[in-house]
Amino acid sequence: MLLTELMTYLKRTGLDPNRNLGQNFLINPSVASRIAAEIPEKGSVLEIGPGFGSLTEKLLPRSESLSAVEISGRMASFLSNRFEDERLKVIQADFLKVDPSELPGYPFITLAGNLPYSISSPILFRMIEGRFRHIQKAILMLQREVAIRLATLDGGKDYGKLSLQIWPVFTVENLIDVSAEDFYPVPEVLSRVVVLRRRIRPLVPDEMYGRFRRIVKVSFAMRRKTILNNLKALLGKEKALKLLEMSCIDPGLRAEQLPPEKFIRMTEVMQ
């Protein structure tokens, strides 16, 4: 979708981009095509936040079926009228609240979207839920800062709860960087498209994953504190020290200094 097309659609519908909903519309067709090129040839696709259909029009030719979840009722109605294709189902709903098993096309194999920056992390965490276990691949546009945090596993300020909670379930690959001028209105941040691929076998068993997430969240609750001081809030000092000793972790280290495998080890030995 070019800017001229978008302006026509905005005028036709009487809509203005809603910054509260993170509505920055993609106006570079080559970026949409690059995202769509990652879609497998088989299986149903779920698109998040299609807006006026810049990405939708590129996804449709590559999809056996495409379900698009759009929070705006007026945009959902416009999208349904724009594409007269039986493969496309437009659902007016909040993706953070919708039950994917009730959507047409379920179970979905692939997920794609230009995610609203303000809710990108909650959307990423939804993909870990059991109802999304069929998703094998996700191609997502994120704020570049979030994309960096998502892919960082080697320590430092960008390493933390986001990357560690996704890491046991998905691998993360950077696909392309996208400039602010590729959107209307022009956002104040840069963007990046990432590809998430589900691991054949999760690094943390399903029955242990809830415990793993609790350890990660508590460990990074106060980044400037040591791992011991953070874990005390969950376990008490004595049990926290025992856990760190059994995991061969120096209690004076901070969480950001620990490799991902150490969080798995703590999960395994925690009573």
Which tokens in the block code for residue 113? 């979207």
**Bridge partners of residue 56, in order along the sequence:** none
How far apart (Å, rounded) are the C-alpha atoms in residues 242 and 54? Answer: 54
Question: Does 206-269 match 3-198 at the fold level?
Answer: no
Q: For residue 254, which phi and psi values (nearest 5 degrees)?
A: -95, 160
H, E, C per residue of 30-93 = HHHHHHHCCCCCCCEEEEECCCCCCCHHHHHHHCCEEEEEECCHHHHHHHHHHCCCCCEEEEEC
Per-residue pLDDT reduced to its tens digit, 102-157: 999 999 999 999 998 889 999 999 999 999 999 999 999 999 999 999 999 999 99
Q: Which CATH number fits domain 206-269: 1.20.1250.20, 1.10.8.100, 2.60.40.10, 1.20.120.1200?
A: 1.10.8.100
Segments of the chain scoring below 70 in pLDDT: 20, 271
Q: Any idea what the Cα angle at residue 190 is, between residues 186 and 196, rounded to 5°?
A: 125
Q: Where are the alpha helices (DSSP H) in the chain?
A: 3-13, 29-36, 56-59, 73-82, 120-126, 144-151, 161-166, 206-219, 227-235, 237-246, 260-269
Three-state DSSP class for 191?
strand
- The domain spans of the chain are 3-198, 206-269
For residue 198, give the H/E element and its range. Answer: strand 191-198
Residue from 188, 228, 22 nearest 115 by CA:
22
Instruction: Say what the pLDDT of residue 271 is.
Output: 66
Q: Are strands 137-143 and 191-198 parallel, antiparallel or unpaired?
A: antiparallel
pLDDT for 12: 87
Domain 3-198 is found in CATH 3.40.50.150:
yes
State the helix-helix crossing angle for 260-269 and 237-246, rounded to 10 degrees.
Answer: 120
